[in-house]
Amino acid sequence: MATTLSGWGRYPVIEAERRLTRSRGDVAAALSSGFTGIAHGLGRSYGDTALADQVLDTTPMDRLLELDAQGGRLRCQAGASFDDILGVIVPRGWFLPVTPGTKFVTVGGAIAGDVHGKNHHREGCFGDHVDRLSLMTADGTVVECSPTANAELFDATCGGIGLTGAILDATIRLKPIRSAMIDETTHRATSLDATLKLFDRTSDATYSVAWIDCLATGDALGRSLVMTGEHAPEGPLTPHTAPRLSVPIDAPNALLNPLSVRVFNALYYRRMLGDTRSRRVHYGGFFYPLDGVAGWNRLYGKGGFTQYQFVIDRDAGRDGLRTILRRIAESRRGSFLAVLKEFGPASRRPLSFPKAGYTLALDFKIDDELFGLLDELDAIVLDHGGRLYLAKDARMSEQTFKCSYPRWDEFVDVCRRHDPRGVFRSRQSDRLGLTG
Amino acid sequence: MSNALIIGAHSAIATAVARRLAARGDTLCLVARDADRLADLAADLTTRGAAEVHTAELDVLNVDRHDAALAAAAEALGTIDLALIAHGTLPDQSACEADAELARRAFDINATSVISLLTPLAERMAKQGSGTIAVIGSVAGDRGRQSNYVYGSAKAAVAAFTQGLRQRLFKDGVHVVTVKPGFVDTPMTADFPKGPLWAKPDTIARGILRAVDRRQNTVYLPWFWRWIMTLICLIPEPIFKRMKL
C-alpha cells in the first residue's frame, strides 16, 4: 500500500510502498519477490537517505536479543531504538558508546549513517563500537561481518547508508556508567577565535560541543556557548522519561523569520550569567534537548527544512569557518540552533563522514532561494577540503559528493559485488551516482 | 512477581504488555504462531528482566490444539495470575464483502478462536480460584459500521462473551477485563494516516495493566474513547444509516 514518506526535514516528501519487516524471513521474502529500495527505520535522517519507491520498514524488528551485563555488550535487532535501549541498559549501569542528538534512531540507522556524537574527538563514530553485524545482501544471503571477518563489507556497511544490504542485527559495545547524570560545564566564547581556543583547551573532555550564534557579525562573529560533559561519578541510574511537549501542527511561515531567529539566538547566548557555569544534569537533557519536544520539525513549517552539516579540515578551519559564517550571517537565514564541534581523526570506512576538523550543522527552512545559497556554501566547503554529512543531505550534487568522498568508487565496487542488480538504492544514492 | 500467559504475543499491544511485565521480573508464557519470532521475543523479554520466559507455538485457528497449548502453558507457569488474549487481525472490509470465506475466516480469528480459548481457560482459572483474564476487544465492537463491520461484529461477540464470563467467574474469584482500544499505531494499522486520536501500543499496555490492578471491568483505552463511543452509540439508527462514518 502506498504511503507518504519523508525524512526528519520533511523535504522531500514521496509516495512509497512500505513493507513491514518483522523478522529476517520477511526481509528475505521481500527480496525474493522483487523488492528494490532501502531500509527505513524511525526516519530521522533528514533528507532522502532512507527514501525510495519501496522501503523496508524495520521498526517491528526491535528485539533486544542479549545483554551481557558483565562485559557490556548488547546484541539487538536493527530496528531497536536508542530510546528503548537506554531504558533497559541505564538502570544496569551501561550507556551507549556514541549517540547522536536524538534517541529516536534505530541501531540499523546509526550503523548505516555511522553516526557521531559529542564524544567523536575522543571515541569516534558508532561504527567504532560495533563488534559484529549480520547483513542480508541482495540475493538473500546472510553475511556475518565484523572488523575482522568480511571486514571490507563491514566497513562499507558502517556509513554505507543502507546500500550494502539490510542490517538484521548487531552487537554493540556499551560504556560503563555509575550515574545517569552528566557534569556539564558551559563556557561563553565571545568570538570564533575564542570558541576554537576553548575547543583546544577542553580537548580532554569526554563530550564537547558548541552552540554558535550564526547571526552574529563583526567582532562577535562565531560567538558561542561551548558545553563539555563528563559522566557523573555517582548518582541515580534513572533512565529518561517520555517527551511531555509536542508540536501538534505545522508552524505558520511567519514564525521563522530573521527577527525571531535573531532574538532567539541572542537570548540563548545570554542565557547564563557569568562566563562559565557548572551543573549536574540528566543525560536526557544533555544529549537530547530537542527530544523533549515531540515533532519539533514542524516548527519549520509545511515546506520542511534541511540540515546543512559540513566538516572542513582542521588546518583550514579558522578561515573557512569565518568565510562560511559570514556568508550565512549575510543571508540572514540562520537557524534556531547551529552546532559546532571539533572532530577527531577519520575512520577507515569509505563513506563515513567525520574527519579531523570542524563540523558545523545548521537548519535552513526550505524556500526558492535556499538551494542557491547552499550551492555557494558547498563550493566554500570543498575549497577547504570539506564534505557534507550524507545522513542530513537532501540536495547536494553528484559532483560535490564525488569530489568530497574520494573513496566513493571503492564503496561502489563493494556494493556491486554483493548487489550486482542494484536492489538496494535510495533517492539519495541515485542522485549521487552511487546507484542507477 | 507473578505469572502471565500471553496469547497472540506478537501483537504490538501484547508485546508492550509483556515488556512491562518483564521489566518488573515476572514469569511469562508466550503463545504465538511463528516459532522463530517467538524465540527472538523470548530473548527480548529475558534481556528486559523477565524471571523466566516459556513459549508455546499455536495457530489459534487450529482449535484442536487449544487444550494442549493451554495445558502446556499452565504446566510451565503453575499458577496463572494474568491471562491476556491479544491475537487478532484487521480484515480488509471490502474484500470480506465480496468473499464469504474471507469474512468467516476474519470472524474465526477475531471471535470464534477467542471464545474457543476462553472456554477451557475459564475452567482452569475457576478451579485455580484466582487470577485475571484480560481480553482485547475493540471500540469497533460498540456499533457496527459499514467501514469495518466484519471486524466490529467479531469484537462485539468478544465483548458480550467476556461480559457474561465476568459475571460467571466472579463467584470463583477470577476477574475478567474487557479491553477496548481505539486507534493504535501498530503494524496492523501501518498504512492508516495517523492523527491526534492515535495511541502508542505502550500507552495501551499501561492502561491494560492498570485495569488489571484495579479490577476494572470494561476499559476504553485511551480513556476518551468511552465518550467518543457513547456519542456514536447515541446517534439514532435512522440517521446513522445515512451517515458515512
Instruction: For A165-189, write each residue's pLDDT tens digit.
Output: 999 999 999 999 999 999 999 999 9
Q: Which chain A positions have a beta carbon within 8 Å of B41's beta carbon?
A: 63
CB of A176 within 8 A of CB of A94?
A: yes
Please state the φ and ψ torsions of residue B165, each to the nearest 5 degrees.
Answer: -65, -40
Closest to A209 in 3D by CA, of A84, A342, A313: A342
Q: What's residue A254's pLDDT?
A: 64
Q: What's residue B181's pLDDT?
A: 97
Q: Which chain B positions have a beta carbon within 8 Å of A57's beta carbon?
A: 190
**Cβ <8 Å between A63 and B196:** no
Q: What's residue A1's pLDDT?
A: 63
Q: What's residue A178's pLDDT?
A: 97
CB of A426 within 8 A of CB of A161?
A: yes
Q: Which residue has the higher pLDDT, A246 or B118?
A: B118
**Cβ <8 Å between A65 and B43:** yes
Q: Which chain A positions have a beta carbon within 8 Å of B48's beta carbon?
A: 64, 88
Sheet with A207-212: strands ordered across: A276-282, A181-189, A224-231, A207-212, A338-343, A357-365, A305-313, A387-388
Q: Which chain B positions have a beta carbon within 8 Å of A18's beta carbon?
A: 190-191
Quote the CA–CA distance of B41 and B200 in Å, as a whole number.
19
Quote the CA–CA distance of B127 and B95 in Å, as a whole number.
42
Cell of A97: 558508546
Q: Which chain A positions have a beta carbon within 8 Å of B34's beta carbon?
A: 23
Kindly give the pairing relationship between strand B82-85 and strand B132-136: parallel
Over the stretch A91-137, which tens digit does the pLDDT of each residue have? 999 999 999 999 999 999 999 999 999 999 999 999 999 999 999 99
Q: Is the pLDDT of residue A27 over 90?
A: yes
Residue A101 is classified by DSSP as S
User: A285 exposed, middle or buried (CB, 10 Å; 0-12, 13-18, 19+)?
Assistant: middle
Q: Which helix (H) or strand (E) holds A25?
A: helix A24-32
Residue A220, number of CB atoms within 10 A of its CB: 15
Percentage of chain A with pLDDT > 70?
Answer: 98
Quote the CA–CA distance of A106 and A44 in Å, as a whole number.
9
Over the stretch B12-67, which tens digit does the pLDDT of each residue have? 999 999 999 999 999 999 999 988 899 999 999 999 999 999 999 999 999 999 99
Residue B127, number of CB atoms within 10 A of its CB: 9
Split at pLDDT 50, 70, 90, the class of A241 is confident
Split at pLDDT 50, 70, 90, the class of B192 is confident
CB of B220 within 8 A of CB of B182?
A: yes
Closest to A157 in 3D by CA, of A129, A128, A131, A127: A127
Q: What's residue A203's pLDDT?
A: 94
Q: Which chain A positions have a beta carbon within 8 Å of B47's beta carbon?
A: 64-67, 88
Q: Is the pLDDT of residue A251 over 80?
A: no
Chain B residue at shortest CA distance from A69: B47
Quote the CA–CA distance of A296 and A294 in Å, as a whole number.
6
Q: What's residue A214's pLDDT?
A: 85
Please pick, among B13, B91, B150, B151, the residue that the annotation labels catalytic.
B151
**Cβ <8 Å between A18 and B191:** yes
Q: Is the pLDDT of residue A436 over 90?
A: no
Quote the CA–CA distance of B228 and B217 in Å, as a whole number.
18
The string of DSSP letters for B162-211 reads HHHHHHHHHTTT-EEEEEEE-SB-SGGGTTSPP-TT-B-HHHHHHHHHHH
Q: Is the pLDDT of residue A225 over 70?
A: yes
* Chain A interface includes B98 (CB < 8 A): no
* Chain A interface includes B43 (CB < 8 A): yes
Q: Is the pLDDT of residue A44 over 70?
A: yes
From first CA to last CA, the distance across chain B in angstroms is 44
**Cβ <8 Å between B47 and A57:** no
**Cβ <8 Å between A63 and B44:** yes
Chain A residue at shortest CA distance from B24: A88
DSSP helix/strand/coil, A250: coil
Over the stretch A307-319, which tens digit does the pLDDT of each residue have? 999 999 998 888 9
Work out the average pLDDT over B86-91. Answer: 95
B220 is catalytic: no
Quote the CA–CA distance of A370 and A307 in Å, as a whole number.
12
Chain A residue at shortest CA distance from B42: A65
Split at pLDDT 50, 70, 90, the class of B240 is very high
In this prediction the pTM is 0.94
Q: What is the ipTM of this complex?
A: 0.92
Q: What's residue B204's pLDDT?
A: 97
Name the amino acid, one letter, at B231. L
Work out the average pLDDT over B98-119. Answer: 97
Name the amino acid, one letter, at A207. Y
Q: How far is B122 from chain A (nearest CA, A)?
A: 32
User: A369 exposed, middle or buried (CB, 10 Å; 0-12, 13-18, 19+)?
Assistant: exposed
* Residue of B24, B30, B38, B40 to mutate for A, most A C-beta atoms under 10 A: B40
Chain CA centroid to CA A12, Å: 18
Q: Is the pLDDT of residue A395 over 90?
A: yes
**Cβ <8 Å between B37 and A22:** yes
Which residues sit opposite A17 in a β-bridge? A2, A54
Q: How far is B188 from chain A (nearest CA, A)?
A: 10
Q: Which residue has the higher pLDDT, A295 or A94?
A: A94
Left, alpha or beta for A309 (phi > 0: left; psi -120 to 50: alpha)?
beta
Mark out chain A residues that contact chain B at CB-CB < 8 A: 1, 3, 18, 20, 22-23, 25, 57, 60, 63-67, 77, 88, 248
Q: Is the pLDDT of residue A433 over 70?
A: yes
Over the stretch B139-162, which tens digit does the pLDDT of each residue have? 999 999 999 999 999 999 999 999
CB of A411 within 8 A of CB of A156?
A: yes
**Cβ <8 Å between A57 and B190:** yes
Quote the CA–CA distance of B122 and A57 in Å, as a whole number.
39
Work out the average pLDDT over A333-352. Answer: 90
Output the CA torsion A113→A115→A120→A123 (10° steps).
-100
Beta carbon pairs, A and B, within 8 Å: 37
Residue B24, number of CB atoms within 10 A of its CB: 13
Quote the CA–CA distance of B5 and B55 in Å, as a whole number.
10
Quote the CA–CA distance of A240 and A243 in Å, as a whole number.
9
Cell of B4: 502471565
Q: What share of chain A is helix, strand, coil (3-state, %, to 5)?
A: 30, 25, 40
Q: Is the pLDDT of residue A334 over 80?
A: no
Closest to A38 in 3D by CA, of A113, A133, A124: A113
**Cβ <8 Å between B48 and A88:** yes
Q: Which own/partner pairs from A254-261 qualify as long-range (CB within 8 Å, at least 24 positions apart)?
A: A255/A299, A255/A301, A256/A299, A256/A300, A256/A301, A256/A336, A256/A365, A258/A215, A258/A332, A258/A333, A258/A334, A261/A215, A261/A334, A261/A335, A261/A336
Give alpha helix (H) positions in A113-229.
120-123, 151-157, 192-201
Left, alpha or beta for A278 (phi > 0: left; psi -120 to 50: alpha)?
beta
Name the amino acid, one letter, at B161. F
What is the SS3 assignment for A308-345?
EEEEEECCCHHHHHHHHHHHHHHHCCCCCCEEEEEECC
Name the amino acid, one letter, at A377. L
Q: How far is B186 from chain A (nearest CA, A)?
A: 9
Mean pLDDT of chain A: 93
Chain A residue at shortest CA distance from B15: A63
Q: Is the pLDDT of residue A265 over 80?
A: no
